[in-house]
A and B are shown apart, each in its own frame.
Chain A
Amino acid sequence: MADHEFTHTNPDIDVHAMGEMHEHPTWKQYKWVALILTVITIFEVWAYYIPSFVASPLFVPTLLIMSAVKFAIVVLFYMHLRYDHKLFKALFTGPLIIAMSTLIALLFLFGKFVKR
């Protein structure tokens, strides 16, 4: 890639072939990410044990948002998609969009969004 400016601090690593466009997070950042993931998981489980919240219409959207945030954090930071080549982003997000669309379409087809 002609526009590939980034070089790893370790010259033995071929960042070009690995598709790394920016320096990966540091240990400290990885530990912060782990802490955030843990805190969100604690909130998810906590929400599960509040009967009034479980009965409210906010319960499912809240859990889905928290889950999506965890999903995005792992993909962007631990899987380095935020720092890697755009081809990798396309290879992941393309099938993910197809998969999510199929899932939602199937739930519609089988009447999962119909109130009984």
Chain B
Amino acid sequence: MSSAVASHAHPPTSTGLDHRKIAIWAFIGSECMLFASLISTYLIYKGRSVVGPFPHEACNPPLCATPLKPILNIPVTSVSTFVLLMSSLAMVLALAAVENKGKPGYEGILGSSKLWLLMTAILGATFLGFQAYEFTSFVHEGLTIRTNLFGSSFFTLTGFHGAHVTAGVLWLLTLLAIDMKRGLGPKDALLVDISALYWHFVDVVWIAIFTLVYLIK
């Protein structure tokens, strides 16, 4: 181990593994259970709303005061899903850039951790923009968290996910600020790795939500 690592080395542990990395995996495991409970709630309430708007079906009087189209906007959500998937690609490239800083092939702009961290944060913020647009349009179409069972479970599930994405974007911006100030190098790989694990987890949760909530009728 080099002196650069030795000065940043984690104290010896019984497993030989860094506690921070074990902690993030344990946290991700607990998050699996949180999102499973939210998805379960959504699926249990699915199709049990008494009044519209409904996710995949049109709503006509007397269930709705005026005829309403199915409320989910699949094309827009498909684009936002693609954006989140690409943010995961940007995140792995950021980690690779940090781990290989200074090595051949990582000298140019495409090997810059700043570029990929910024790109990941921008793509995450874009996803949040799509979600804000979706929520706003739903409210304008008469669906709020209090309208029906679909509204309650949908806004709770996707709202929790959006909150996680927001936390991830803030985390990425913090790393970017550190990178701008003193530069992130191989000795900081673990810090970036931990944030990357969180970010990818947010991505896999959306993969499940996109299929279970948006695509399966």
A interface residues, Cβ below 8 angstroms from B: 1, 4, 8-14, 16-19, 24-25, 27, 30-31, 33-34, 37-38, 41, 44-45, 47-48, 54, 59-60, 63-64, 66-67, 70-71, 74-75, 78-79, 85, 87-88, 91-92, 94-96, 98-100, 102-103, 106-107, 110, 112
Instruction: Say yes or no for B82: interface residue by CB 8 A criterion.
Output: yes
A12 touches B88 (CB 8 A): no
A75 CB to nearest chain B CB (Å): 6
A106 touches B44 (CB 8 A): yes
User: If the complex has contacts A38-B85, A78-B92, are A92 and B29 also in contact, measured as CB distance less than 8 A?
Assistant: yes
Chain A residues closer than 8 Å to B33, beta-carbon distance:
95, 98-99, 102
Chain B residues closer than 8 Å to A59, beta-carbon distance:
216
| Known contacts A48-B215, A78-B92; 13 further A-B pairs (Cβ under 8 A) | A9-B103, A13-B186, A17-B10, A19-B17, A59-B216, A75-B200, A78-B91, A79-B197, A79-B201, A87-B15, A88-B25, A99-B37, A102-B36
**Which of B30, B91, B187, B208 is the one whose CB lies under 8 Å from A71?**
B208
User: If the complex has contacts A88-B21, A92-B28, A99-B36, are A17 and B96 also in contact, measured as CB distance less than 8 A?
Assistant: no
On chain B, the number of residues with a Cβ less than 8 Å from chain A's Cβ atoms is 61
User: If the complex has contacts A45-B74, A60-B216, are A92 and B32 also in contact, measured as CB distance less than 8 A?
Assistant: yes
